[in-house]
Structure 1
């Protein structure tokens, strides 16, 4: 399996009243997050966001409003995931997007990636995230700063 590129997207899927979709990781039960995934070689960031939403939720981004929130976070890759990246890679750059859907929608999970999903009000969603950068993105949504 080829190494991952240390560039990823985070897609906060939310409703107009700021309910947020969270997915529970299959490899770490109890770790809740938004849609996220690494960029593939030759792929634009927007294409990565579209692909990851489709793969992880079954939603077709073209039916909703996908927006680039215009910022990124550089974070240290968790030790348990470093083997997925080229040797010596310790940090990832995560680009943040939002996907506005009209209401909490049922989603189709990728069973190898996620166990369950839930829709939560933004404050509860931010508190439930294991990732500080994911929680910060949700707080930006809730506070109107995305």
Structure 2
């Protein structure tokens, strides 16, 4: 059994690259498990259409858990290092998680992390439980690669 967080798109993000755009990616945290999407370059309205999978260690407690979704801008920090700038986040209660087959597109306004930060835009997600999902070796490798980037 897995939680599936389908990161669909974001709209009207804050420009952060110094050229009026952003190189954005999304990082999802569920029960101290993190995974991230690929980076969409030079776009304030990025489309990912990417599914992130999280094993459910305690399926009966899923509706008491929350999911944190953060949007970042990726930029080069010089050399081979990458720096990420915060673009916004949303904390989603477990009550927004549905069963497979019932999933609907949900849109959330991005929120600030700090009082003085400026955030704008929203993100569209689908959150659902897949009871029959079996992880393939390729998906495990992909998830591990994304988690270490």
TM-score normalised per structure 1: 0.29
Higher strand share: 2
TM value normalised by structure 2: 0.28
Larger Cα-atom Rg:
2
Q: Using CA pairs under 8 Å that are at least 6 residues apart, name the structure with larger relative contact order, 1 or 2.
A: 1
* Bigger helix share: 1
